[in-house]
Structure 1
Amino acid sequence: MASPIIPSSGLGSGLDIGSIVKVLVSGDTSAKQAQIKRQTSNNSAMISGIGSLRSALTAFQDAMKKLNDKNAPSFNAFAATSGNESVVKVKSNNTAVSGNYDIVVNKLATSSKVASQQFSNGANSAINAGDMTITQGGSSYKVTIGSGATLQTVRDQINKEMSANGISANIINESGGSRLVLTSTKTGAGNDISVGGIPDLTIDGTKQMSGTGGGFINALAQDADLTVDGLKITSATNTIDKAISGMSLELTGVSAKAADGTGTSTRLTVAQDNDGLKKSIQGFVDAYNTLQKAVTSLTATSKQTQDGKEVTVLGPLTNDPTTRSLLSDMRGVLSQAVSGGQLNSLSQLGINTSKDGTLEFNSIKFTAAMDDKKLGGEVQNLFTSDNGIFALMNKAIDPYNATDGSLATRKSNLDKVAKNLSDQQAALDRRTDSLTESLTRKFVALDTALGKMKAQANQITSIFDALNAQKKNG
């Protein structure tokens, strides 16, 4: 409701109607207005605090997730390097052993690539209907070709139905005609592709293509062939996990040949990686301390001067029981023992809790744990195992920060309170407008009546003044 226009003063009475109405309306509504304002401020601060807390918790959990990335594992006790990554790349895990290894790659594992006979009409060549059978490595797959098919539609159908099995098709246009070419992602000897069932598309993948007939294009699929310190190893794939304990090899090229025809070796070096471990541990400590500082800022009290007086200012979550419970659960994880080996607590790595709740990382104690006690191989288990620090920390946080957790419930309830306060404010605004309008009408009416009475009094006074004047003149 729009506020009525209040005259500043009465024409008949000279009263300041606007000020009188304003004081009366304020006396009726000020207590409720102050209550709504106070409650809205407190509720808004709480909503902001809950949002900030959830953001800080999510950032901490994301940091732990990154440190626990299985594709880029942290907390490895050993680091492996390759002298020539164009021949072999290497990764190590916590079961590796420090040392050097000489690798010679004689052959890379390859997959099968076969071609059909030539078709003079190209991609539009007609193909007879029937069941095509594609065989590879002891597995057979059926592709039903309908009537009216062409070399192009057969290609498209193979790609649609066989992509999940790692087999794809394309059409190569060469001098004299076109061929259907099938390629596999599966490497290793014995994994050659053969096609049967439809005479025009029959391919014997164990025979080389010749003339206009089909067969394998360059070579049969083959195993990788390499030596490790002179010991011969073969593998169906170019990723080899079990050739050297604790190491994964990725073959990327064939070793260059020396003058005598032997392959030139690539040196792999495995060494203890204290610096890498320290960096990962420091990453966890920093992430936890960032969270702890955020919570401290939300729950702290401070002294401020207002109107010449010192007052205590509370943070949005000061004395909040949910936040206190969350901190207690998280701190419990820091002191909890993790089973599985000699290393079962953060304190053994030099990580301790300071008075303000943040973590301190003692590098001297950490170095002693690595060099003297040889605990490097157990650091990963302490943090990333099913019962490790990360799992226990997420278990402590999830009941609060999950989409259906207690903080989300708190936020929902606070939003309802905010809506209720907004409704109360709207109702109070309507009452303020209504009361202002009502009082204004009454005072304007009073002013009008007083004006009339004043006019009448002036008229009567004028009559008596006239009579007195006549009497004096007579």
Structure 2
Amino acid sequence: MAAGISFGGLGNGIDFGQVVDQLVKIQRLPIDKLVQTQTALKSKLTDYGVLGTKLLSLQGAADALRLATTFDRSSASVGDPTVLIASASSTAAAGTYTVNVTKLAQAHQITNKAAKAVAAPTTDIVSGASATFTFRVGSGADQTVTLGATATLEDLKAAINDLGAGVSASVLNTGTDAAPAYRLVLTATSTGASNAVTIVTDTTDLDFLNASGTGGTDVLQAAQDAEVVLGDPSQNPVTLTRSSNTITDAIPGVTLTLIKTTGTNTVTLSISRDTAAVKANIKALLDAYNDIVKFINERSTYDVTAQTGGLFFKEGTPKTVLSRLRRALSDEVSGLSIYTATGQIGFKTERDGTMSLDDAKLDSALSEQYSAVKALFINQASTTGVAQRITEAVDALDDVVAGALTLRKQSLTDQIDDLAKEIARKEEALAAYEARLRAQYAALDALLSQLQGQLSFLRSRTGLVQERQL
């Protein structure tokens, strides 16, 4: 209701407020229709956004099959997984190895002699005005800590750790609760013989270099390389030494993580092609494709009873999407000799447009003609495989300039914006119309009020004349 305008309710049988409301309601019908159209377009735009996300998921599934390095899958198995763990990349060649883990890599760990232990971590370990503690790791640079006159064992530990120089310092009580004996433990942060810790200078009371004759160093753990023997011990095996228990450069494409030694025993390491993983990736591609088909089908239906179509009913873009993806997945790949189309390895198009997979047929193809299946999907110099075609199809649909999906989404956005402007303009016009109506009916209400007063006056005068005549 327009501000400052009200109706008197004069008992004339007409509620002008309701009259105005009804007239405005009728005038609002075109706006309501525009709002409904705008809401439908927003829902359609949202679903196109979801479709775009599903296309990216399909492209992601295709990427797992598009290149030789992503298509191939290898698996590694170890006869005794408590000895070592193995993982294989796509570049690993199939093979079986006999492995004997004779040594594990260890980090060098040393401590000062028990004779130089102190009663508490806060015990002063500097006898003079200052002290110097210098060490190095392997062939690295010397690392020096300078301590003041009142420095403690805890201070030295903290100063070494603050250097971040390849050594971790800790304090260890090698005594008892009643008679504690705290010693400094230095542990190399990297394993291997080349990472041994050497004390260069020690003028603290810990006396790592035994200047007093009662000090020195205890080795808690030797700096040691891992040692692995590959091959039958009775033949001519190869011995490998590495500074780490994780070995990545012995067998190409295989990572070995050593856990424990085998003594005189051996374990078997087997590297094989993982066709199950390849099949899973192929099925993931098919699932992503079917997800798109079902999504579009559900929105392209027509309800005969309600005479309404889904959000994609009569939309050309979803049909374009399905057509391009179907061709990418089903058309023959030129330049191949054994398998030239996915239908030959078990793909089948169903009546609703989705694709099913004959598992037995795919299993047989992967087992007997693995390279031919691989050639069908991957991108090569002379052929564009199925996975590459899908990637290119999605890129074309999503192209920022000419992509069918991009253009349709932009068109919907423009229509929604235009409708918003039209609705705002009509709302403004309707507000002005309502204001005029209320002003006009307010004037009419006032006029009727005036006429009602005049009529009452005339009736009263007529009654007075009649009384006088009597």
Q: TM-score, normalised by structure 1?
A: 0.72
Aligned to 1:260: none
Query: CA 1:319–1:325 in structure 2 vs 1: closer, same or farther (change >3 Å)?
Result: closer
Aligned-pair distance for 1:189? 3.0
Amino acid across the alignment from 1:79 = S
Write out per-residue CA displacement over residues 169-198 of structure 1, whole angstroms, 9 at most, x where no aligned residue: 222232364333222343333331223245
Query: CA 1:419–1:227 in structure 2 vs 1: closer, same or farther (change >3 Å)?
Result: same
Aligned to 2:441: 443
1:217 to 217, 220, 223: 220
CA distance in 2, matches of 1:129, 1:408: 72
Aligned to 1:56: 54
Query: CA 1:61–1:418 in structure 2 vs 1: closer, same or farther (change >3 Å)?
Result: same
Aligned pairs for 1:251-262 (under 5 A) are 251-255=258-262
Q: Secondary structure at the match of 2:265?
A: coil
Percent identical pairs in the alignment equals 23
1:367 is the counterpart of 2:363: yes
Amino acid across the alignment from 2:217 = G
Aligned-pair distance for 1:425? 5.2
Query: CA 1:313–1:222 in structure 2 vs 1: closer, same or farther (change >3 Å)?
Result: closer
Aligned to 2:171: 171
CA distance in 1, matches of 2:70, 2:440: 79
Q: Secondary structure at the match of 1:123?
A: coil
1:315 is the counterpart of 2:312: yes
Q: Secondary structure at the match of 2:141?
A: strand
- Give the count of matched residue pairs: 445
Aligned to 2:32: 34
Aligned to 2:191: 187
Amino acid across the alignment from 2:171 = I
- Name structure 1 gaps, 5 residues minimum: 258-262
CA distance in 2, matches of 1:285, 1:414: 30
CA distance in 2, matches of 1:377, 1:140: 55
Query: CA 1:111–1:338 in structure 2 vs 1: closer, same or farther (change >3 Å)?
Result: farther
CA distance in 2, matches of 1:345, 1:382: 13
1:250 is the counterpart of 2:252: no
Aligned to 1:283: 284
CA distance in 1, matches of 2:131, 2:340: 67
Aligned to 2:239: 233
Aligned to 2:451: 453
CA distance in 2, matches of 1:115, 1:232: 36
Q: Secondary structure at the match of 1:52?
A: helix
Amino acid across the alignment from 2:229 = L
Aligned-pair distance for 1:461? 4.3
Aligned to 2:84: 88
Contact 2:135 2:197 in 1 (8 A): no
Aligned-pair distance for 1:48? 1.9
Aligned to 2:14: 15
CA distance in 2, matches of 1:377, 1:161: 56
Query: CA 1:135–1:50 in structure 2 vs 1: closer, same or farther (change >3 Å)?
Result: same
Query: CA 1:51–1:154 in structure 2 vs 1: closer, same or farther (change >3 Å)?
Result: farther
2:158 to 150, 156, 159: 156
Query: CA 1:153–1:382 in structure 2 vs 1: closer, same or farther (change >3 Å)?
Result: farther
CA distance in 2, matches of 1:53, 1:390: 19
Aligned-pair distance for 1:368? 3.7
Contact 1:11 1:451 in 2 (8 A): yes
CA distance in 2, matches of 1:401, 1:198: 68
Contact 1:46 1:317 in 2 (8 A): no
Amino acid across the alignment from 1:253 = K
CA distance in 1, matches of 2:389, 2:140: 44
Aligned-pair distance for 1:289? 2.3
CA distance in 2, matches of 1:155, 1:2: 82
1:135 is the counterpart of 2:141: no
Contact 1:12 1:452 in 2 (8 A): no
Q: Secondary structure at the match of 1:190?
A: helix
Contact 1:304 1:313 in 2 (8 A): no
Query: CA 1:336–1:143 in structure 2 vs 1: closer, same or farther (change >3 Å)?
Result: farther
CA distance in 2, matches of 1:173, 1:392: 67
| Larger CA deviation: 335-344 vs 263-272 | 335-344
Query: CA 1:381–1:44 in structure 2 vs 1: closer, same or farther (change >3 Å)?
Result: closer
Query: CA 1:248–1:353 in structure 2 vs 1: closer, same or farther (change >3 Å)?
Result: farther
Contact 1:74 1:277 in 2 (8 A): no
Amino acid across the alignment from 2:448 = L
